[in-house]
Structure 1
Amino acid sequence: MPLKIGIPKKNGFTEFVSSYKDPRTNKTHANGFSVDVFCAALTLLPLKVNPEFLPFENEDGESLGTYDDLLKNISVKYDAVVGDVTIMANRVSWADFALSYVDSSVYILSYTANLTAMLTIDQLRPYFNKEGNYSVGYQEGSFVKDFLIQQKNFSESRLRAYSTMTDYHKALSNGSVAAIYDELPYIKLFLRKYGSDYTVDGPILRTNGFGFAFPLDSFLVPLISRAITNVTDGGTMVEIEHKYFGKKQISEVEITRLPEKTPSLDYFNFIGLFIVTGSISLASLLCSEIWRSRRPVQNVPSAGEVNVNGNVPIIDNQVEQQPTTSNQCVENVPSTGEVNITGDVPIIENRVELQPTTSNQSVENVPSTGEVNVSRDVPIIDNQVEPNQRVQSMPSTGEVNVSGDVPVIENQDQLHLTTSN
């Protein structure tokens, strides 16, 4: 018995139904999950049936319309319609359906791999029920479009039709749509590929599943229904599922679903991060200030005043804490400015160190201008002072004030203290 079988022309989700034409024989071949289930049922009929599959397409290979358009032509062009056709109340006026072979309901798919979605995920349901500028998607040719317009009050201008899983992923991830409404079999197939980035909510509409359609009052309806029961209850159905969907199946209860109230993230959720970040920043600042306080002072200017009190020397334009006993000298004292030294402190190559109270030093090349005040037992020799030494090339102008056991010798005559060699 020949049967003309109409099948949908699909560009995506071809795991359910697809077709191709053999160029040598010009015969159309069909395959896919729905086609294999139908063919398995035909083998259980009490009569021999030879199906001829006819895609619902034009001469250019493009679809002639929606699933509803396909079903409306069933009594004119076809003996049956086979594919992922959902059993709907409005469709039973055009065709009779055999027993469902796949359960199906409508779900919402939302991309949740970004922080913004996490922050607003608990507002998902009311958000989609309000008027707004956002758009939502659906599978091209599906009854879901009418469902969104008639029952969800969406404006048609806000609806976007997509054909493939890749289209779904791109539209959701780049924000072209806020969500996609589709049936469970397609959602499960999509989640097997992109599940880690998506969340599913639903069902928002329960249907009677996928079924094979026949002209009204067709005698094949009860025969196919009984055959489908045997296919779905046996191992044949499992083999067909593994062939097209893989061995790991996602059940309805396993689908990630939004809870009734998903707590959103707010500032308090990040308080731990703020504390850690603040502590690290504060510790870094303290370490920086401590390092700066201990860092050598460089490039002391050649003119001006340097006041040194206590045991603090200036060494190679550096400031360091020195011991109280040393034999140091003064070199390159600036020609202008004042150097005031209190305590047992000499100036050495732009360095100041604390000196012992007894030493033998001399004064050479004291600058012609400025004042050097030396108190306690501190000499100036080569710009340094030591007891029992001579003073060479004293300037004609300027003043050297020496107090304590420090001699000043002019014209290379040596003046001795009461105790000296």
Structure 2
Amino acid sequence: MAKSFSCYSWFTLFLLFVVETQTAVTSSGSNETSIGVIKLRVGVPKKEGFDQFVRIVWDSHENKYNVSGYCIDVFNAVVNNLTFKVSVQMEPHVINGSESVGSYYNSILKQIPTKYDVAVGDITIMARRAQFVDFTLPYTEMGVRMLVPMVHGRHQTMWIFVKPFSWDLWLSTLIISMLIGVVLLIMERNVHTLPHQDQSSSYRQQLTAVTILWFPISQAVLPERQVVAKNCSRFVLMVWLLLAFVLMQSYTANLTSILTVDQIQPRFLTLNDLKKWGYYVGYQTGSFVYDILVEQLKFDPSKLRGYKNIYSYHDALKLGSQGGGVIAIFDEVPYLNAYLQTFGSNYIIAGPTFRSEGFGFAFPYKSNLTEHFSRAILNVTENYDIMHKIEEKYFGRIEDVQKQSTQVSSASPSLTFHSFAGLFMITGISISLALIVSETLIWQKCILKIKEYTNRYLLRSTPSTETHVLPNDLQATQETN
């Protein structure tokens, strides 16, 4: 009997040990039940504006908060992609009236893991926050961009015909034309008449210094047969006509584009324009974007105005800088995409991208769950169907948003010399080779002149070998004769 009781006691103790080990607390601070399901207390930050990312609504019938939004749907998709089971308990964390947005986000992160096991929302990954929490990989587009009103239409002036080419390309074309005129003048200087011309007309008079520029241009527009006599001259003229043909076709195409295509441009060109003319710019109140504008971009803090949501963004942009609003909004790309989804018809994302790490989920420092969730985030973000469905639910057709946020370049539509540098180089080499072949006698004369001067110099530097005859020897010679 004692032996049977002893075996039963040992078996009971073994079962209790198994149950206790399966209810042990994980390193993330969450409890794992006996059936292997991890319970997570999810802190969800709630701030005013941008309900597309996090939306918290009190349900009076069920006496609880209903939590939804882009960040929540992505988190649920990531949880479903995990290799283990997770039980989620959403706990909204509403901002206090006296608490700023920046300190509000930091406060919820500092309550991990005492109050929350993970924080989910539009929480930007930042170095100073990573000192007390671990972030997963980002699940949103990274970067801080600039939102500006865009200008439709075609800016046509009386000088629009020179706009297809930049000034350096116009200058290069003029120089190469004059160079070809000079080369043809050198090549054809000894030719007096052409076969189709009268003997009385001097062909050399047609290629004077006055016509150096006009001759290549006239041949490019109205080419004539047998306008030059030498084969090398014809080769140079052929190369010039090829260059002129490419330039004329490019000019026509670019001018047509400028005259017909709707040019979408921001109301200013660069960040230097904003600072130079003292324009007011906006940012999201409490966001780290303020630090980027002041510390990195060197904006005057007095020229910065903070706003809380996309509707205040819209009102400020409509007023403009001189009307009490702003001329541009700086914010993270996900927030700007949310703005474009609502007011995207007359606005565009422009300018360079300033580095930020995007949104991520925050876990306790050195949590073993961070790695699992990061791997699941990769699987979800690389799944087009899942992400497309979530993005279309909160931001509309993502293709339309991307089309509206097409990056606008502040560069001029004019073609530059760099676009045709290779063609100009080929033309220059061809002209040089033709000139060398055509003027062989000149090079030979130059070589002979060099040899002549070299020989003279060598003869002058050689010591004299004359024989000096003494007077006594001369007298002896005469007596002998």
Task: Please confirm whether the aligned pair reaches a TM-score higher than 0.5, indicating the same fold.
Answer: yes
1:8 partner SS: strand
2:49 partner SS: coil
1:28 partner SS: strand
- Who is 1:381 aligned against? none
Q: 1:190 to 1:262 in 2, by over 3 A?
A: farther
Shift of 1:19: 1.0
Structure 1 residue 168 and structure 2 residue 313: aligned?
yes
The one-character-per-residue Cα deviations of 1:367-399 (angstroms, maximum 9, x if unpaired) are: xxxxxxxxxxxxxxxxxxxxxxxxxxxxxxxxx
- Who is 1:126 aligned against? 272
- Who is 1:233 aligned against? 382
Q: 1:169 corresponds to which letter in structure 2? A: H
Contact 1:10 1:18 in 2 (8 A): no
Aligned-CA RMSD value? 3.1
Question: Pairwise mapping of residues 2-401 of structure 1 onto structure 2 (< 5 A)?
Answer: 2-57=39-94, 65-113=103-151, 121-130=267-276, 133-175=278-320, 176-234=325-383, 235-250=385-400, 255-262=405-412
Contact 2:50 2:335 in 1 (8 A): yes
2:399 partner SS: coil
The one-character-per-residue Cα deviations of 1:306-350 (angstroms, maximum 9, x if unpaired) are: xxxxxxxxxxxxxxxxxxxxxxxxxxxxxxxxxxxxxxxxxxxxx
Contact 1:105 1:203 in 2 (8 A): no
Shift of 1:82: 0.7
Q: 1:73 to 1:148 in 2, by over 3 A?
A: farther
1:20 partner SS: strand
Question: Would you tell me which structure has more strand in proportion to its own residues?
Answer: 1
Rounded Cα–Cα distance in structure 2 between residues aligned with 1:123 and 1:248: 27
1:89 partner SS: coil
Aligned identity (percent) is 41
1:102 partner SS: coil
Contact 1:112 1:198 in 2 (8 A): yes
Rounded Cα–Cα distance in structure 1 between residues aligned with 2:61 and 2:366: 38
- Who is 1:270 aligned against? none
1:112 partner SS: strand
2:315 partner SS: helix
Shift of 1:260: 3.3
Shift of 1:114: 9.0
Rounded Cα–Cα distance in structure 2 between residues aligned with 1:212 and 1:84: 9
Unaligned 5+ segments in structure 2 are: 1-37, 156-263, 415-481
Shift of 1:216: 0.7
Rounded Cα–Cα distance in structure 1 between residues aligned with 2:319 and 2:147: 14
Q: 1:198 to 1:14 in 2, by over 3 A?
A: same
Q: 1:243 to 1:48 in 2, by over 3 A?
A: same
1:77 partner SS: coil
2:342 partner SS: helix
> Across the two proteins, how many residue pairs are aligned to each other?
262
Q: 1:162 to 1:259 in 2, by over 3 A?
A: same
Unaligned 5+ segments in structure 1 are: 265-421
Q: 1:141 to 1:70 in 2, by over 3 A?
A: farther
Contact 1:67 1:143 in 2 (8 A): no
Q: 2:409 corresponds to which letter in structure 1? A: P
Shift of 1:250: 4.8
Q: 1:66 to 1:110 in 2, by over 3 A?
A: farther
Q: 1:236 corresponds to which letter in structure 2? A: I
- TM-score, normalised relative to structure 2: 0.49
1:15 partner SS: coil
Contact 2:151 2:266 in 1 (8 A): no
Rounded Cα–Cα distance in structure 1 between residues aligned with 2:147 and 2:306: 14
1:56 partner SS: strand
- Who is 1:411 aligned against? none
Q: 1:89 to 1:70 in 2, by over 3 A?
A: same
Contact 1:129 1:152 in 2 (8 A): no
Q: 1:262 to 1:200 in 2, by over 3 A?
A: farther
Rounded Cα–Cα distance in structure 2 between residues aligned with 1:248 and 1:114: 22
Contact 2:266 2:408 in 1 (8 A): no
Q: 1:144 corresponds to which letter in structure 2? A: V
- Structure number with greater Rg is 1
Shift of 1:70: 3.3
Q: 1:68 to 1:135 in 2, by over 3 A?
A: farther
